Amino acid sequence: MNKKSLYINMPKKIYIRTFGCQMSLRDSEFVAGLLLDDGFTLANSIAGADIILFNSCSVRKHAEDRLISNISDLKLLKKKRPDIVIGLMGCTAQAYKDKILDRLPILDFSCGPGNESDIPKIIKDIMENRCGIVATDKINDKRPEIFPEYRQDRFRAYVSIGEGCNNFCSYCIVPYTRGRERFREIKDILKEVKDLAKRGFKEIMLLGQNVNSYMNPSRNLTAYSSKPTAKKSDFVRLLEALNAVKGIERIRFMTSHPKDASADLFKAMRDLEKVCEHLHLPLQAGSNRILKLMNRGYSAEKYLKLAGEYKKYVPEGSITTDIIVGFPSETREDFGNTVKMVEGVGFDGAYMFKYSPRPPAKSVKLKDDVGQKEKEDRLNILLNLQREISLNRNKLLNGKAVEVLVCDLHKKDNNVLTGRTRTNKVVVLGGSSDMISKFVNVKIESVTPHALRGRIV
């Protein structure tokens, strides 16, 4: 037996490291499932793996820098074990195409989001000594309706309802790496969710770059609404259909775009008992001039109006956002408008970042003229403000009882659990591991900006 066939007959262990958003996590889970179905097994760490996969989103430079440094750290390991297969998947693979193999020569393959279902075959090809494979050609293909059984969690599941984006925000590379928007049929999403419910899953998170622009591709909607003549968005009809699935108790969704959000979505969040009262609505900036340069398609006034409507229909709901500071030409006055918006809306939480140019996004043509120190100062001002607002929002729950889905043991203490409210707030409570996946009522006794602490009542 030669060395090559000996290697191929050994069991192969995979390890996937993900940097990025929920979409990237779901992609990693999907590829892990395909590989498990193909006879591979999962390794607990890089050290125990035969195949190491990195999945990275390249929306922010920081994530990409971490990815490059993590892959470069494997040089020694690859030298000792040249049989190890190291691959890159996700948006960074798509953004750099074959150039990534020049930059990171220890990679055996690089595979964009549209080609992920080919990864088991790519790995097998590499094992047969065809190194340096780059697969980035299927960017606009629909993902096949294949559902490997593997899920990272036992009771919460990500469900992708579509992929890609048509919005071309000037700072964002997603339309270039994931292609144009394309959605799945309601019937296919329903089938997947019913299957998850049968398997005991209780919570689903609907994923898409822009979930509330959802359109059922076949336009066949009458079967999915109790009042088919009512004027409702396809996304609301999808929520209605999923709300009727027995066994599913919580429905979340992410991310919504302000230009596609309207009162019918907020009314659905109020009326559909399984749809959780948490809205993630990226603001990005509070200055109309910057919003225009970002090509966001709404004004600060429109955003404020929407946030007000949401609070009117879902008064107990939470709202979170994304903000970029230091976009090209952002003046102190522009930044001041973002501060005013953050104060005015009263977000429960926010992901805030310093701007960095991401080719081929259009904003690379604008001069990145806000200095690093100024960006950092602006970011710190916002982070401190948000901390205070989050604390005040959480204080409103002090003394109240909230429904919590227990999710995990606390990292540092086996007698402490963490869970989530319907509004997606983290709750820390006492208890044992047998309570994981159960719903409990918790009386909140103390709060911090990032979590609530309480006891079961």
One residue of 113, 120, 175, 419 binding ligand SF4 per CB under 6 A: 175
- Is 221:236 a contact under the CB 8 Å cutoff? no
- Give least dist CB 363 to ligand SF4, A: 11
Nearer of residues 210 and 424 to ligand SF4, judged by Cβ: 210
Kindly indicate which of the ranges 15-23, 168-176, 434-442, 447-455 contains the residues binding ligand SF4, using the contact rule CB under 6 A. Answer: 168-176
- CB nearer ligand SF4, residue 59 or residue 452: 59
Tokens of 442: 């918790």
Nearest to ligand SF4 of 211, 402 (CB atom): 211
Half-sphere exposure of 265 (CA within 13 A, CB side): 27
- Which residue, 172 or 429, has its beta carbon nearer to ligand SF4? 172
Task: Give the residue with the Cβ less far from ligand SF4, 324 or 406.
Answer: 324
Q: Is 439 in the site for ligand SF4 (CB under 6 A)?
A: no
> Which CB atom, from 209 or from 337, has the smaller least distance to ligand SF4?
209
For the CB of residue 213, give the shortest distance to ligand SF4 in the complex, in Å. 9
Which region among 115-123, 165-173, 239-247, 382-390 touches ligand SF4 (by CB under 6 A)?
165-173
Q: Which of residues 341-370 bind ligand SF4 (CB under 6 A)?
A: none
Q: What does R_g of the chain's alpha carbons equal in angstroms?
A: 23
Residue 209 binds to ligand SF4 (criterion: CB under 6 A):
yes
Q: Which residue type is seen at 209?
A: Q
Applying CB under 6 A, which part among 167-175, 229-237, 413-421, 447-455 lies near ligand SF4?
A: 167-175
Q: Which is nearer to ligand SF4, 169 or 205 (CB)?
A: 169
Q: Does 257 bind ligand SF4 (CB under 6 A)?
A: yes
The sign of the dihedral angle between the CA atoms of 295, 298, 304, 310 is: negative
Residue type, 11: P
Rounded-to-integer distance, Cα 319 and Cα 310, Å: 9
- Any contact of residue 168 with ligand SF4 (CB under 6 A)? yes
Residues with Cβ within 8 Å of residue 129, at least 6 apart in sequence:
4
Taking the least distance from each CB to ligand SF4, the nearer of 56 and 394 is: 56
Nearest distance from residue 237's CB to ligand SF4, in Å? 22
Determine the distance from the C-alpha atom of residue 235 to the mean position of all C-alpha atoms in its chain, rounded to a whole number.
Answer: 18
Are the C-beta atoms of residues 295 and 284 closer than 8 Å to each other? no
Q: How far is the CB of 282 from ligand SF4 (least distance, A)?
A: 7
Nearest distance, CB of residue 261 and ligand SF4, angstroms: 12
CB-CB contact of 11 with 192 (8 Å)? no
Phi and psi, residue 155, nearest 5°? -135, -5
Position among 174, 189, 193, 254 found at the interface with ligand SF4 (CB under 6 A): 174
Residue choice 23, 172, 207, 402 for contact with ligand SF4 (CB under 6 A): 172
Residues in the interface with ligand SF4 (CB under 6 A) total 10
Identify whether the C-beta of residue 158 lies closer than 8 Å to the C-beta of residue 211.
no
Kind plus residue range of the DSSP H or E element containing 111: strand 109-111
Strand partners, 53: 16, 87
What are the distances in angstroms from CA 117 to CA 30, 207, 278?
Answer: 8, 18, 32
Q: Give the nearer residue to ligand SF4 in terms of CB position, either 34 or 172.
A: 172
Per CB under 6 A, the segment of 113-121, 163-171, 231-239, 332-340 that binds ligand SF4 is 163-171
**How far apart are alpha carbons 377 and 335 in whole angstroms?**
11
Q: Which is nearer to ligand SF4, 25 or 107 (CB)?
A: 25
The minimum distance between CB 165 and ligand SF4, in angstroms, equals 3
Distance, CA of 342 to CA of 340 (rounded, Å): 5
Q: Is 147 in the site for ligand SF4 (CB under 6 A)?
A: no
For 331, left (φ over 0), alpha (ψ -120 to 50), or beta? beta
Interface residue with ligand SF4 among 169, 197, 319, 352 (CB under 6 A) is 169
Residues 6+ away with beta carbon under 8 Å from 53: 14, 15, 16, 17, 28, 31, 86, 87, 88, 89, 119
Two structure tokens written together for 148:
């490997």
The stretch near ligand SF4 (CB under 6 A) out of 10-18, 170-178, 222-230, 304-312 is 170-178
Q: Give min distance, CB of 173 to ligand SF4, in A.
A: 8
Q: What is the DSSP letter of 275?
A: B
Nearer to ligand SF4, 170 or 394 (CB): 170
Counted residue by residue, the chain has a size of 457
Q: Minimum distance from CB of 289 to ligand SF4 (Å)?
A: 18
Q: Around Cβ 238, how many Cβ atoms within 10 Å?
A: 27
Q: Which H or E run includes 374?
A: helix 372-395
Which of 210, 233, 287, 423 forms a contact with ligand SF4 (CB under 6 A)?
A: 210
- Residues near ligand SF4, by CB under 6 A: 165, 167-169, 172, 174-175, 209-210, 257
